[in-house]
Chain A
């Protein structure tokens, strides 16, 4: 087990290293990073000063060393627009993003799991088809368009919900739905296929032969076992949601890290953009590591394979 964890952790470190290398490389290959680090309209003298200050006139490997050591110290630079350290800005926006992601996650679980179970119990019947349509639309509609149409219906015409901003539970409903639909659709598909697999197994047949009522078979025997992959996906989704909510946050002016990224682009505030992307990658790599380790604890076969 120890060896397994060490191996997974070293893969994870390697991934983080490649991530930092990718970002470092792209910024330098696509142009002069000084142009991204100064405010628009800076004089050539300012740019030369930036070159010297950030060591851009030094060899590449020295530059990478400086880049990495400042990252490891948690120093992502200073935001041009807000004039505060980027990490501080990021951490101040993170709770809002987590709140939105948590509510969207809850919504997608409440919709996705029951509809998935219903579809698996009624294969080929009405609820199965309705669920298929729901899932297909969820996977095909761009979340920002869902958001815009929701605003049109519930804010402009009906006037029931606020169209943008944050603060009250009412503000959360539309963004959470726009963000959660896609995930509800993927959870529904997974629940359905996972339930179908379990329902075909021997112990379910035995439970039926014993004469247990259908509701008992579904609730106590099938659902519990079908739940494992579904909950894993839900856990990973939560982290992914925090990081893909960019567009939904822009549509609803939700003050989270997605909106921060958008502002970073709009104001050409490059340190902010870089920080959001690095943190997104690091968070997802970290969660993958935790999931891998949990899997290794639950299922010994996984940790033995090379």
Chain B
């Protein structure tokens, strides 16, 4: 018999090989994951990466084009905006805002929707009726219009946006999770738990929640793109993240003024960032949906 160390040495390369192989067989979306990873790293290390202060510009350096164009300089790699602020630095800090708003809003909506879905599905009766009627009503509202309405009332701020997007997008979780709970509660293990004397609260927490968490994760990953676009839209309309913070939607709204004169870099770069992030989130979400939860395929 070989020693344990030999076994480890023998297993290591083989294991790495099978991991790669299984990823390929599962058609794991490598590129989208890498893009999201890079955006996350950029968001975390924004302070170290950004060459300039994103909120302070110099007015003598207004509307500089990217470095490869005539009049461009390597000091401002992707050019400057109408206040002479470095576009690259603003994009880097904008990644932080999009990541933070996107993830926290998705988690907030997920916690709210999953809780209501479990409670509504498991308790049934009038609780179910009330929750589902409210869900139907909120689903009937055009989400973006409703978010604009709320944002107009409470005023612009980053955390207000998180709360508003959470309050707007919890309904889909509640609907789907409730459906899952309805079928789960007819299963043997739940009946056994009732016989064993578990309280309703314990059953919901210990037996329902772990069984619906997969679905919640899939819904969350599909929701990320929607929420990022919603945040950009609100900021674009001036009811989202307030200036001078460098949100991508806000940059697009600023860039609109220079569009007709041909300052294309103020529009193209932030838009590309939004597109890359949303596209990656959607591809990853689609993959997760098929892998984790085949029942959700037609969503």
**Chain A interface residues toward B at CB < 8 A:** 11, 14-15, 18-19, 22-23, 26-27, 30-31, 36, 136-137, 139-142, 144-145, 148-149, 151-152, 155-157, 163, 193, 240, 243-244, 246-247, 250-251, 261-262, 264-266, 270, 273-274, 276-277, 280-281, 284-285, 288
The complex places the Cα of A165 from the Cα of B260 at a distance, in Å, of 14
Given contacts A139-B282, A193-B298, contact A246 B144 (CB under 8 A): yes
Which of B33-41, B119-127, B263-271 faces chain A? B263-271
Which residue in B138, B141, B229, B264 is a CB contact (below 8 Å) of A280? B141
B145 pairs with A276, CB closer than 8 A: yes
For chain B, the bracket of interface size reads 35 or more
The complex places the Cα of A251 from the Cα of B252 at a distance, in Å, of 11
Residues of A within 8 A of B138 (CB): 22
The complex places the Cα of A273 from the Cα of B239 at a distance, in Å, of 13
Q: Tell me, rounded to whole Å, the shortest Cβ–Cβ distance linking A125 to chain B.
A: 18
Question: Is B179 in contact with chain A by the CB < 8 A criterion?
Answer: no
Q: Tell me, rounded to whole Å, the shortest Cβ–Cβ distance linking A230 to chain B.
A: 15
B232 pairs with A142, CB closer than 8 A: yes
User: CB-nearest residue of chain A relative to B226?
Assistant: A139
Most B-side CB within 10 Å, residue of A137, A155, A156, A270: A156
The complex places the Cα of A26 from the Cα of B147 at a distance, in Å, of 12
Residues of A within 8 A of B137 (CB): 14-15, 18-19, 22, 281, 285
A246 pairs with B145, CB closer than 8 A: yes
Q: Tell me, rounded to whole Å, the shortest Cβ–Cβ distance linking A277 to chain B.
A: 4
Q: Mark B24-46, 1 if CB is under 8 A from A, else 0.
A: 00000000000000000000000
Q: List 23 A-B contacts (CB under 8 A).
A: A15-B133, A19-B140, A139-B282, A141-B275, A142-B271, A142-B274, A148-B256, A156-B264, A163-B259, A193-B298, A243-B142, A244-B142, A244-B145, A246-B148, A246-B237, A247-B237, A250-B237, A261-B145, A262-B237, A264-B152, A273-B149, A284-B141, A285-B137
User: CB-nearest residue of chain A relative to B286?
Assistant: A136
Q: Mark B260-288, 1 if CB is under 8 A from A, else 0.
A: 10101001100100110011001100000
Q: Total contacts A to B, CB within 8 angstroms?
A: 129
Question: Is B195 in contact with chain A by the CB < 8 A criterion?
Answer: no
A145 pairs with B252, CB closer than 8 A: yes
B142 pairs with A148, CB closer than 8 A: no
User: CB-nearest residue of chain A relative to B282?
Assistant: A140
Question: Is B238 in contact with chain A by the CB < 8 A criterion?
Answer: yes
Q: A15-B137, A15-B140 are in contact. List 12 more A-B contacts (CB 8 A).
A: A18-B137, A136-B279, A136-B283, A141-B275, A144-B236, A148-B252, A152-B267, A152-B268, A265-B237, A266-B238, A280-B142, A284-B141
The complex places the Cα of A31 from the Cα of B136 at a distance, in Å, of 27
The complex places the Cα of A145 from the Cα of B268 at a distance, in Å, of 8
The complex places the Cα of A246 from the Cα of B154 at a distance, in Å, of 19
Residues 201-258 of B at the A interface (beta carbon under 8 Å) = 225, 229, 232-233, 236-239, 252, 255-256
Q: Tell me, rounded to whole Å, the shortest Cβ–Cβ distance linking B272 to chain A.
A: 9
Residues of A within 8 A of B267 (CB): 145, 148-149, 152
Given contacts A22-B137, A27-B153, A251-B256, contact A145 B275 (CB under 8 A): yes
Question: Is B150 in contact with chain A by the CB < 8 A criterion?
Answer: yes
B145 pairs with A265, CB closer than 8 A: no
Which residue in B140, B152, B153, B255 is a CB contact (below 8 Å) of A285? B140
